[in-house]
Amino acid sequence: MQEKLSLTREYWGVKPPAGVYLPTAAEILKMCTADDKHPAALAFPSEAPVFWIKYGFAVEWNEVLAQAMAHRELLKLRSHARVPAIFYALEAGRKVYIVMEYIPGRSGSQILESSSEPAEREAVHRQVAFMVQELLRIPISPNARPAAIDGGKFTHLIFRDYRASRHYHNVDQLEQHFNLFMKMAKREPKIQGLSREPLVFSHPDIWPGNIIIGDDGRTTIIDFAGSSILPSSFVKYSLSSSKKDREYNLMTWVDLPCPDGIDNVKALWAISDPMIMGTASFARAGWRVPGYGNPVPEQVVS
């Protein structure tokens, strides 16, 4: 008698190409045996692979929905950037398994490790900036809120543990929380007009390892874990936060929306150090802002 699978949830995405066999849930679980705390992956079939299967305890369901959204929306925009299609995903035993399109090529990091040619190195960094720019083009619903794509707490490198301490029903609550903590920490300038900034698709990890440059020269964006919907200043902060460690300033190649001259990145910089040192105090400040502990509304991203 065949053993019944215990799946927490499933996602059916893009149909595989005609004549291509998509492995079943049982076959996926049998193949994917690594039990490491870090994400694991394998190509399938092993010869002439069609699928890339990413899995593990560290893989989150938000990555499934975020990557599917980015793939869908960039196709609609006829972007020259690619996102691997997701064919199927499942969750079983607290592990998430994602069956996505296999993309041949080298990551930006691999190219940088093997090349000292300035022009080639600059080209890689320009492609990272292109990744950010194309994701900024994704239209976001005016009814969206600051959150992960699946509605969970948003992820951003301004936090020591990379994740917000609470849910936000709207941008005003986020602004109130940050400004209350800035008042406690005696930091200036305050955040102003955050709700007037456009909400954008925020990739949490802007670095060369998250692009693949194919043999055809096209850029593929990967690793959507932690992707969130956030006001545009948060993306600007991500671009500027590690520019000292980069050969090139990506800010010069990315056109960030800044309506009416609103720019809160200086305020985010002002709060970043106290937030890292006072994580618990920041979380407690959030308890005093409206919406804390209330039922979380559904995320509406597009």
Q: Is the pLDDT of residue 37 over 80?
A: no
Question: Which regions of the chain carry the CATH code 3.30.200?
Answer: 9-101
Q: Tell me whether strands 106-107 and 147-148 are parallel, antiparallel or unpaired.
A: unpaired
9-101 sits in which CATH class? Answer: alpha beta
Burial of 217 (0-12, 13-18, 19+ CB in 10 A): exposed
pLDDT digits (tens, 9 = 90+) for 87-140: 999 999 899 999 999 999 999 999 999 999 999 999 999 999 999 999 999 999
Banded model confidence at residue 277, pLDDT cuts 50, 70, 90:
confident
**pLDDT value of residue 245:** 58
Mean pLDDT of 33-41: 83
Q: Where in the chain is the domain with CATH 3.90.1200?
A: 106-287
* Contact call for residues 202 and 228 (beta carbons, < 8 A): yes
Region 53-64: mean pLDDT is 96
Instruction: Determine the CATH number of domain 106-287.
Output: 3.90.1200
Cβ atoms of 64 and 98 within 8 Å: the answer is yes
Following DSSP, what letter does each residue of 90-150 receive, concatenated? EEETTEEEEEEE---SEEHHHHHHH---HHHHHHHHHHHHHHHHHHHTS---TT--SEETT
This prediction has a pTM of 0.94
Band (242; pLDDT cuts 50, 70, 90)? low
